[in-house]
Amino acid sequence: MTDRLLDIEIVANLLNIQPRTLRAWIREGKSPIPLCRLGKRVWRAKASDVERLIQNWEQNVHEGAEPPVLQPNTDAA
Query: Each residue of 17-75: pLDDT tens digit?
Result: 999 999 999 999 998 899 999 988 899 999 999 999 888 877 776 666 565 555 554 44
Write out the residue range of the structural domain in which residue 10 sits: 5-63
- Report the number of distinct structural domains present in the chain: 1
Would you say residue 46 lies in a domain?
Answer: yes
Does the predicted TM-score (pTM) go above 0.85?
A: no
Residue 69 lies in a domain: no
CATH number at residue 15: 1.10.1660
Q: Residue 75 falls within a domain, yes or no?
A: no
Q: Identify whether 74 is part of a domain.
A: no
Q: Looking at the domain assignment, is residue 30 inside a domain? A: yes
Q: Is residue 76 part of a domain?
A: no
What is the per-residue DSSP string for the chain?
-PPPEEEHHHHHHHHTS-HHHHHHHHHTT--SS--EE-SSS-EEEEHHHHHHHHHHHHHHHHHTPPPPPPPP--S--
